[in-house]
C-alpha cells in the first residue's frame, strides 16, 4: 500500500489518533468501517424485530459468509471452521473433545500461554493425563526445536498443544515438520494460533495440523468476542463436543442416546451469540487485504520488526530477548534496571505509548503490525533511548 494510502487508512482508526499503539498481539485496533458494520448489523436486526424469520435467515447467511471468509484466509474448506469467541475457547473445544485415558500424555512447550496451560491442568485433574513440557525458550532454529521435541518424546504422548508463533519471543515453530513427526508417532497436533493468524501467510491444508485455534481480535483487527477453530475433517468427525446446544444439532428429534450433529464446524458451536460481530470481522478482513496480500503484510511487518530489533540492540541499556532477528511482529526486550510493569504503565500514562509487559521471560513486548509506520518505530526507539 502506498504511504499516503496507509496514512488515510490509519486516519480512520480511532485508537491510532494521538497514541503510539504497539499492542496488536494483545488486541488489534478497530477501523471505523468495522465499527460501522457492527452498528449497522445491530440496527438491521432491531429494525426487523430480532427474533423473526427475516433475521433467522440473515443469521444463517452471516454465519456461512463468515466461515467462508475465514476459510479463504486459512486455505481450508468452510466446513472445517467452527466459530468461537476467542483462541482459548478453540483450544478448549479441541482438547476436551478427545477420549483421554489416565496416563495419556499431552506435550506442551514451556512457552504456552497461561490460559492454555490451565486447560492441561484441568485435564490432569479430570482424566489423570500427564502434561509434559518441552523447553523451547531460546531456541531459534527449526532443527533445534524439532530435536527438542524428539528428545522429549514419550510413547504415551497422545497430543501436542503448541503455539504456531510463541507469544513471548515471536519464534515460529516448524509446524509441518512437527506435524509429520507426531503423526508418525500416532499423536495429534493442536495449535494455538493466537499470534500467527493475521501475521503469517497460511495454508493449513499443507501444514497438516489437526486443530488450529485463533481469534479475530488480534492481528486481523476484528471485534473482540469472535474467533474460530479449524478442525481437520477426521478430527471433527471423531471429536465429542463438551459444551453443546441447538447450533450444533442437525435435528432436534431423537436426541437420546446420541444427538445427530451438524456435519461441519457448527457441530462444536453452542447457541445464540453476538451475530452483529460477524459483519465486523468480515469488514476487518477486507481492510487487512487493503494493506496488501498476506505475504506482503508479513514481509512488511517483519521488515519493520527487524529494524526495531536492530535499533534496540544498539541501545546500551536494552537487551532484546532474541539473539537473531525476529521472524514475526513480536519484539521482546529487557530494559536494564527497569521493572517491565512499571515502565509499561509509565509509557502509557506519560507518553501515550502502548506496549505490554510479559511475565515469562520478564520483559516488554512491542507488537508490530503491517499498519505500523516507520516513523512510529523511530519514535519508540527515541522514547526508549531516554
Ligand atoms: C499464544 C496465546 N494464546 C492465547 C492467548 C489468549 O487469546 P484469546 O483471548 O484469544 O483466547 C493469547 C493472547 O493473549 C496468546 O498470545
Does 131 map to a domain? yes
Residue 195 near residue 218, CB atoms below 8 Å: yes
| CA–CA separation, 333 and 212 (whole Å) | 28
For residue 130, what are the β-bridge partners?
105
Domain boundary among 244, 268, 287: 287
Q: Render each residue's pLDDT in the chain as its tens digit; 386 residues.
A: 899 999 999 999 999 999 999 999 999 999 999 999 999 999 999 999 999 999 999 999 999 999 999 999 999 999 999 999 999 999 999 999 999 999 999 999 999 999 999 999 999 999 999 999 999 999 999 999 999 999 999 999 999 999 999 999 999 999 999 999 999 999 999 999 999 999 999 999 999 999 999 999 999 999 999 999 999 999 999 999 999 999 999 999 999 999 999 999 999 999 999 999 999 999 999 999 999 999 999 999 999 999 999 999 999 999 999 999 999 999 999 999 999 999 999 999 999 999 999 999 999 999 999 999 999 999 999 999 98
Residue 33 backbone dihedrals phi, psi, to 5 degrees? -65, -30
Nearest alpha carbon to residue 192 among 205, 176, 206, 173: 173
Q: In angstroms, what is the span from residue 185 Cα to ligand 1's centroid?
A: 28
Do 179 and 276 lie in one domain? The reply is yes
Nearest alpha carbon to residue 267 among 305, 293, 231, 317: 231
Q: Which domain holds residue 127?
A: 40-287
Supply the CATH number for residue 233's domain: 3.40.640.10
Any atom of ligand 1 within 6 Å of the Cβ of 212: no
Do 53 and 25 lie in one domain? The reply is no
**Model-level pTM greater than 0.85?**
yes
Any atom of ligand 1 within 6 Å of the Cβ of 31: no
Secondary structure letter of residue 257 according to DSSP: S
Does 75 map to a domain? yes
Do 262 and 303 lie in one domain? The reply is no
Do 230 and 348 lie in one domain? The reply is no
Does 141 map to a domain? yes
Indicate which atom in ligand 1 lies nearest the CA of residue 88.
11
User: Residue with the nearest Cα to atom 7 of ligand 1?
Assistant: 87
Do 124 and 249 lie in one domain? The reply is yes
Nearest-10 crossing angle of helices 374-385, 294-313: 20
Does 35 map to a domain? no
User: Residue with the nearest Cα to atom 13 of ligand 1?
Assistant: 26
Q: In angstroms, what is the span from residue 47 Cα to ligand 1's centroid?
A: 36
Residue 127 near residue 102, CB atoms below 8 Å: yes
Domain boundary among 245, 267, 287: 287
Total Cβ atoms within 10 A of residue 197: 26
Cell numbers that stand for 23 in this block: 499492542
Nearest alpha carbon to residue 178 among 120, 92, 258, 109: 109
The DSSP-derived string for 310-340 is HHHHTSTTEEES-SS--SSSEEEEEETT--H
Do 190 and 311 lie in one domain? The reply is no
Do 102 and 145 lie in one domain? The reply is yes
Does 107 map to a domain? yes
Supply the CATH number for residue 317's domain: 3.90.1150.10
Do 283 and 365 lie in one domain? The reply is no
Do 216 and 299 lie in one domain? The reply is no
Any atom of ligand 1 within 6 Å of the Cβ of 115: yes
Question: CB burial class (10 A; 0-12, 13-18, 19+) of residue 117?
Answer: middle
Distances (CA, A) of 45 to 104, 108, 248, 274, 279: 47, 43, 23, 11, 12
Cell numbers that stand for 177 in this block: 515438520
Residue 323 half-sphere exposure, CB side, CA atoms within 13 Å? 5
Do 135 and 66 lie in one domain? The reply is yes
Do 206 and 342 lie in one domain? The reply is no
The SS3 assignment for 286 reads helix
Do 214 and 110 lie in one domain? The reply is yes
Cell numbers that stand for 61 in this block: 447467511
Domain boundary among 266, 287, 308: 287
Q: Domain count of the chain? A: 2
Amino acid at each position: 500500500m502506498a504511504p499516503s494510502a496507509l496514512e488515510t487508512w490509519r486516519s480512520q482508526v480511532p485508537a491510532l489518533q494521538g497514541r503510539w499503539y504497539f499492542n496488536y498481539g494483545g488486541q488489534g485496533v478497530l477501523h471505523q468501517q468495522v465499527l460501522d458494520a457492527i452498528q449497522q448489523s445491530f440496527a438491521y436486526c432491531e429494525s426487523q424485530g430480532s427474533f423473526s424469520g427475516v433475521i433467522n435467515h440473515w443469521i444463517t447467511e452471516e454465519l456461512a459468509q463468515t466461515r467462508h471468509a475465514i476459510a479463504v484466509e486459512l486455505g481450508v474448506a468452510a466446513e472445517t471452521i467452527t466459530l468461537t469467541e476467542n483462541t482459548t475457547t478453540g483450544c478448549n473445544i479441541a482438547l476436551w473433545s478427545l477420549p483421554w485415558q489416565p496416563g495419556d500424555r499431552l506435550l506442551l512447550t514451556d512457552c504456552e500461554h497461561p490460559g492454555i496451560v490451565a486447560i492441561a491442568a484441568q485435564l490432569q485433574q479430570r482424566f489423570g493425563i500427564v502434561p509434559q513440557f518441552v523447553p523451547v525458550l531460546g531456541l531459534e532454529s527449526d532443527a533445534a526445536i524439532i530435536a527438542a521435541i524428539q528428545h522429549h518424546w514419550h510413547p504415551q504422548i497422545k497430543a501436542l498443544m503448541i503455539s504456531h508463533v510463541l507469544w513471548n519471543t515471536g519464534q515460529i515453530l516448524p509446524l509441518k515438520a512437527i506435524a509429520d513427526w507426531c503423526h508418525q508417532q500416532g499423536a495429534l497436533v493442536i495449535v494455538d494460533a493466537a499470534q500467527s493468524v493475521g501475521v503469517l501467510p497460511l495454508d493449513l491444508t499443507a501444514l497438516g495440523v489437526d486443530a488450529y485455534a485463533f481469534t479475530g481480535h488480534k492481528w486481523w483487527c476484528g471485534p473482540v468476542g469472535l474467533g474460530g477453530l479449524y478442525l481437520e475433517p477426521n478430527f471433527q468427525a471423531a471429536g465429542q463436543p463438551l459444551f453443546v446446544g441447538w447450533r450444533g444439532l442437525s435435528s432436534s428429534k431423537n436426541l437420546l442416546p446420541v444427538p445427530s450433529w451438524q456435519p461441519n464446524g457448527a457441530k462444536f458451536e453452542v447457541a445464540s451469540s453476538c451475530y452483529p460481530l460477524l459483519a465486523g470481522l468480515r469488514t476487518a478482513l477486507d481492510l487487512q487485504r487493503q494493506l496488501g496480500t498476506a505475504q506482503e503484510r508479513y514481509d512488511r511487518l517483519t521488515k519493520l520488526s527487524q529494524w526495531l530489533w536492530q535499533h534496540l540492540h544498539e541501545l546500551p541499556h536494552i537487551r532484546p530477548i532474541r539473539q537473531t532477528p525476529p521472524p514475526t511482529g513480536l519484539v521482546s526486550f529487557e530494559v536494564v534496571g527497569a521493572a517491565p510493569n512499571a515502565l509499561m504503565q509509565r509509557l502509557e500514562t506519560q507518553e501515550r505509548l502502548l506496549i505490554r509487559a510479559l511475565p515469562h521471560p520478564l520483559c516488554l513486548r512491542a507488537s508490530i503490525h503491517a499498519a505500523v509506520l516507520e516513523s512510529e518505530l523511530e519514535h519508540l526507539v527515541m522514547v526508549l533511548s531516554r
